Amino acid sequence: MAKLKDLEDYRDEIEQCVKCGACRAHCPVFGAERREGRVARGKVALSQAVLEGEIDFEAKVMEDLSQCLLCGSCCAGCPNKVPTDEIVAAARRRIAKEKGLSTFGKGVAAILGRPRLMNSLAKTGGKLSALIFKKLPDNSGLRLRFPLPYLEAGRTLPYFTDQPFRERCPERIEGEPGKPTVAFFTGCGINYMYPAVGEAFLKALKFLGVTVIIPKDQACCGLPAVSAGATATVEALAEQNLTALTREPVDYILTACASCNAGLVKVYGDMKGDCAELGIKTRDIFVFLLEQGLAENLAELPSVTNPVRVTYHDPCHLRTQGITKEPRDILKSLPQVEYVEMENAGTCCGLGGTYSVYHYDNSKKIGAKKAGHISASGAELVATDCPGCIMQLQDSINHAGGKQRAVHILELLSEALPEI
Amino acid sequence: MFDSATLRLERANANEREADFVLKETQMIDTRIIRILADIVGKENVSTEKADRLCYSYDATQQKFLPDVVVHPQTAAEISLIMKMANAERIPVFPRGAGSGFTGGSLPTRGGIVLATERMNQIIEIDTENLVATVEPGVVTEQFQQAVEKVDLFYPPDPASLKFSTLGGNVAECAGGPRCVKYGVTKDFIIGLEIVTPQGDIITTGGPTMKGVVGYDLTKLICGSEGTLAIITRIIIKLLPLPEAKQTMLVLFDSIDGAAQAVSNIIGHRIIPATLEFMDGRTLDCVRQATDLQVPEAAQAVLIIEVDGDKEFLAKQAQKIADIIQPLGVVETRIARTAAESEALWQIRRSVSASLRKVNPDKFNEDICVPRSKVPEMIRKVDAISEKYGISIVNFGHAGDGNIHVNVMIDKKVAGEAEKAEKAIEEVFKGALELGGTMSGEHGVGIAKAPYIPLEITEKAADYMKAIKKALDPNNILNPGKIFLDQ
Ligand SMILES: Cc1cc2nc3c(=O)[nH]c(=O)nc-3n(C[C@H](O)[C@H](O)[C@H](O)COP(=O)(O)OP(=O)(O)OC[C@H]3O[C@@H](n4cnc5c(N)ncnc54)[C@H](O)[C@@H]3O)c2cc1C
Ligand code: SF4
Ligand code: SF4
């Protein structure tokens, strides 16, 4: 059985916080709103006070705990590596247990857990959301990212595909003998919003002769539910993915979405039960491509006379796992790309799973800073490795009146590779 | 009673409060006072919520004192009104920057009001003609440094906490860092202040000129006063031209004496490096134990030396330093050629904090300072103390100015260790004083070192200081009980 840790299980980690305040330099939410309750140190202190029975989950405690992107930036910059993101997620689960899921959290659990609710949801929703919900199946994490308040806030959204990626492709694409076999964990973003990224993924692996399995019954990784504190939902999704991804033997499970990667590696990896295995096998696509020697292949491609200026945005869910070099290496070795590094490439885009649903204003503030850095870099394209970031980056650029486009590195890679 | 007319009290009382404004009485403060505060700073900037009081109850000492109310003013005028009210009502006020202090300076030890400067975070002006900047106290040190470096100017003071500490906190503690050996500490760059006095008057000290001798030098008095004499609301800072480049080298020695001699010899040759950081053998043991960084077994001390200035001179100067120190038991010299290589050299120093923690769960970090030449003697004293009490003590710090971070490492859960640590620390302080040093080079007194004050300051000198405090803050409203526990 997949089982998430309780807040109680984080007692030791909480005690590791020496209250130094270093996280004030790293927490994007604190950057947007300079109050101690918004920073990791404050959230850890509140969690600690809850554990010690010093305070109850009163409104202000819940508000502060809701003000977290679960981005892990604080943990990466913390001298003692206190996992505030995990602590906050555990605290939210405890809130859900004690107080019941919040209205929004309830929506999360309902959508992911009980498919039939979808229709009634679509009925009560506005026109736009009904339109989107029609195209989204019941258990997609994207439903959590686009509830009503989100859609009404003047946001630019990507086009939703009529035919989800996993419905367009076969479940198994045979590669060359002697090459690895991988499972492609698509995640909701690629499946429903950016199927072209999925196509690009397949093209790259075909180029290398890798056998790809794309299980149709894979589900959302569950990260939005982690964010909402919906324990049972996360655990159920983990079980479903365990079944889907272990049906056939594979060497690796690949992701092209930073959040899904963190979901599989960190969330499942930390679970009590078999799901932890999934985490061990999971690789980010660019880590895999580099290991397979793709950079050398790319170096042999003829160079291009009019390269396009591209910069890279580090998705938090990769950066905090130390994956920063591999996506850049692939990007830099593309013949049509002139790479420029932007200032603060490693700061959060401001999406944070369900965060931007609750806190669109702060999310916009964080995004606006990012848009400024993108513009200052002089790049025409900002490439990244996460559909969620792409969506948020494009929204921020649009709000700032910029002309840049946000793309997935795989799309650029696909452009560069010869047709086969 | 407090004069209601000046503070729009009447309006505050008469006004109907919105329903969602949480008014919770706390021990010291009733709803009337909270209304006054809300009227001064706006209700969204006053909180008596338990959650907020908890979040402003601690600093890096890890001690905890609940305030009654947290306020976030934005202007000197607001702070002035708060101080007047606090005086009238006899409520203590505790100024707070980032809460990164190591001695508890910002802790609301007597309840009352925490006055946080987080909203006062504007860089008001960077005057590139006169090389002077004016900032609000809540500006984060590193953000200010980056802003001035964009226009090729330089603000050298670099406490290790610069990414999150505030300039107000830096001035109040007179913070220092590695670069201070060449450039001086925070107070050497502060030429003027706007402050709110404990009784609520707004005054300015000094000004934007490089010289100024009219009246007492209040600017210097406020620097390092730990928020007990005034609340700083504006800071005028002197800047330098940004050095063109810097070069980093790391030298491993077979003894601490060699490293110390190296420091003297370098300076004796009229070279003042921008940074002269050292780590002792016990620190290196921890690094070896906790990381896979390359530290040869023979190395018993490390110096990280950084020189800055014109590009052409740097390579030459680095070579000259290498030659000067070669005979002093050098095990290995590493010179960085690129920024990335320099960062790699710093890696050893940056890993210390985490390494210590891996080896021992709890540590007391003291920051004594002795005359430069007495560093080896001090380290021998510390070694002896460490042996006497059977607890591990490691030393590292700023060799260039004799500022040693003495880290007493224990496991608080083991019975008796905390007491031993306390005794050891007292002996360390005494040892430093015997060598003509001081108990604290950077972190201040706060409450953590207050009990030891009589070791360093004579009764007469202490009375002199207390007389100043008493004259300026007769009701003992501003940050009471800090530096002098009996105040
Ligand atoms: C990891 C770490 C490393 C550190 N390294 C160094 C170092 O290398 N060198 C060093 O010197 N220190 C160091 N410190 C200590 C600390 O960062 C400094 O003392 C810093 O100056 C405190 O700034 P702050 O904004 O956090 O102030 P706080 O901790 O909030 O307050 C410190 C004192 O300043 C007062 N104060 C704050 N703002 C004002 C104001 N506007 N007006 C009047 N009084 C005010 C407070 O009342 C209090 O007494 C370190 C701390 C940590 C946690
Ligand atoms: S950086 Fe880490 S140890 Fe320091 S206050 Fe933040 S969470 Fe705590
Ligand atoms: S996970 Fe991100 S948003 Fe949450 S406390 Fe850490 S840095 Fe801040």
Question: Taking CA atoms, what residue in A is nearest to B352?
Answer: A79
Pair B250, B221 in one domain: no
Using an 8 Å CB-CB cutoff, list chain B residues near A42.
55
Residue A105: per-residue pLDDT: 64
Question: How many angstroms separate the CA of residue B101 from the nearest CA in chain A?
Answer: 8
> Which run of H or of E encompasses B303?
strand B301-309
A37 contacts B163? CB cut-off 8 A: no
How much distance in Å is there from the Cα of A56 to the middle of ligand 2?
Answer: 23
Pair B278, B339 in one domain: yes
Pair B220, B260 in one domain: no
A258: pLDDT strictly greater than 80: yes
Residue A394 CA to residue A157 CA, distance in Å, equals 9
Domain boundary among B351, B380, B403: B351
Other CB atoms within 10 Å distance of the CB of residue A68: 27
Beta strands per DSSP E along B82-174: 93-96, 113-116, 123-127, 132-135, 153-154
The total of structural domains in chain B comes to 4
Question: How many angstroms separate the CA of residue A30 from the nearest CA in chain B?
Answer: 11
How much distance in Å is there from the Cα of A23 to the middle of ligand 3?
Answer: 8
Q: What is the pLDDT of residues B14-66, one digit of tens each?
A: 333 333 333 344 566 889 999 999 999 999 999 999 999 999 999 999 999 99
Q: Give the single-character DSSP code of B276.
A: E
Pair B347, B373 in one domain: no
B7: pLDDT strictly greater than 70: no
Residue A133: per-residue pLDDT: 45
Domain boundary among B215, B241, B267: B241
Pair B405, B311 in one domain: no
Secondary structure of A350-391 as H, E, C letters: CCCCCHHHHCHHHHHHHHHHHHHHHHHHCCCEEEECCHHHHH
Q: What is the pLDDT of residues A206-224, one digit of tens each?
A: 999 999 999 998 988 988 8
Structural domains present in chain A: 7-100 (1.10.1060.10), 104-157 (no CATH), 165-291 (3.40.50), 300-416 (3.40.50)
Mutate to test the pocket of ligand 1, among B82, B94, B106 (most ligand atoms within 8 A of CB): B106
In a domain, residue B466? The reply is: no
Q: What is the pLDDT of residues B162-208, one digit of tens each?
A: 999 999 999 999 999 999 999 999 999 999 999 999 999 999 999 99
Q: Which two tokens stand for residue B176?
A: 């220092």
Residue B26: per-residue pLDDT: 52
Ligand 2 binding pocket includes A20 (Cβ within 6 Å): yes
Residue A232: per-residue pLDDT: 85
Domain boundary among B332, B351, B370: B351
Question: How many angstroms separate the CA of residue A117 from the nearest CA in chain B?
Answer: 34
B237: pLDDT strictly greater than 80: yes
How much distance in Å is there from the Cα of B358 to the middle of ligand 3?
Answer: 24
Pair B214, B151 in one domain: yes
Question: How many angstroms separate the CA of residue B3 from the nearest CA in chain A?
Answer: 31
Give the pTM: 0.86
A46 contacts B51? CB cut-off 8 A: yes
In a domain, residue B129? The reply is: yes
Residue A382's nearest CA partner among A354, A417, A356, A344 is A344
B9: pLDDT strictly greater than 60: no
Q: What is the pLDDT of residues A148-189, one digit of tens each?
A: 444 444 556 666 666 789 988 999 999 999 999 999 999 988
Torsion of CA B187, B191, B195, B201, to 10 degrees: 130
Chain A residues within 8 angstroms (CB to CB) of chain B: 18-25, 34-37, 42, 45-46, 49, 54-55, 58, 60-61, 64, 79-81
Pair B130, B197 in one domain: yes
The amino acid present at B453, given as its one-letter code, is I
Ramachandran area for residue A403 (φ above 0: left; ψ -120 to 50: alpha; else beta): alpha
| Residue closest by Cα to atom 7 of ligand 3 | A27
Using an 8 Å CB-CB cutoff, list chain B residues near A36.
52, 55-56, 99, 116, 118
Arithmetic mean of pLDDT over chain A = 85
Pair B260, B214 in one domain: no
Q: Which two tokens stand for residue A399?
A: 């709000």
The amino acid present at B51, given as its one-letter code, is A
Residue B218 CA to residue B193 CA, distance in Å, equals 9
Residue A107: per-residue pLDDT: 56
| Residue B135's CATH number | 3.30.465.10
Ramachandran area for residue A282 (φ above 0: left; ψ -120 to 50: alpha; else beta): beta
Lowest mean pLDDT among A99-108, A258-267, A280-289: A99-108
Distances (CA, A) of B261 to A369, B181, B330: 49, 16, 11
The string of DSSP letters for B332-375 reads EEEE--SHHHHHHHHHHHHTHHHHHHHH-SEEEEEEEE--GGGH
In a domain, residue B463? The reply is: no
Nearest to B163 among A25, A46, A58 (CB): A25
Using an 8 Å CB-CB cutoff, list chain B residues near A25.
140, 142, 163-164
Pair B129, B221 in one domain: yes
In a domain, residue B19? The reply is: yes
A357: pLDDT strictly greater than 90: no
Pair B75, B23 in one domain: yes
In a domain, residue B387? The reply is: yes
Residue A65's nearest CA partner among A368, A359, A369 is A359
Q: Which two tokens stand for residue B290?
A: 């906790």
Assess contact for B312 and B227: CB atoms under 8 A: no
Question: Taking CA atoms, what residue in A is nearest to B120?
Answer: A34
Ramachandran area for residue A70 (φ above 0: left; ψ -120 to 50: alpha; else beta): left
In a domain, residue B444? The reply is: no
B55 contacts A45? CB cut-off 8 A: yes
- Enumerate the β-bridge partners of residue B134: B125, B236
| Residue B345's CATH number | 3.30.70.2190
Distances (CA, A) of A271 to A4, A76, A242, A267, A278: 5, 21, 12, 6, 10
Pair B393, B300 in one domain: no
Residue of B459 and A120 predicted with greater confidence: B459
In a domain, residue B312? The reply is: yes
Q: What is the pLDDT of residues B410-446, one digit of tens each?
A: 988 899 999 999 999 999 999 999 999 999 999 999 9
Ligand 2 binding pocket includes A82 (Cβ within 6 Å): yes
Question: Taking CA atoms, what residue in A is nearest to B121?
Answer: A34
Lowest mean pLDDT among A190-194, A307-311, A378-382, B189-193: A190-194
The string of DSSP letters for A129-185 reads HHHHHHHS-TT-THHHHS-HHHHTT----PPPPSS-HHHHS-SEE---TTS-EEEEE
The string of DSSP letters for B172-236 reads HHT---TTHHHH--GGGGEEEEEEE-TTS-EEEEE-SSS---SS--HHHHHTTSTTSS-EEEEEE
- Enumerate the β-bridge partners of residue A254: A184, A283
How much distance in Å is there from the Cα of A66 to the middle of ligand 2?
Answer: 19
Question: How many angstroms separate the CA of residue A378 from the nearest CA in chain B?
Answer: 18
Assess contact for A363 and A352: CB atoms under 8 A: yes
B216: pLDDT strictly greater than 90: yes
- Please report where in the chains the tokens 């620190």 appear, as a residue: B283
| Residue B60's CATH number | 3.30.43.10
Pair B252, B209 in one domain: no
- Give the domain extent around B201: 123-241
Assess contact for A417 and A204: CB atoms under 8 A: yes
Q: What is the pLDDT of residues A110-157, one digit of tens each?
A: 555 443 333 333 333 333 333 444 445 555 555 544 444 444 445 566
In a domain, residue B445? The reply is: no
Question: Taking CA atoms, what residue in B is nearest to A19?
Answer: B60
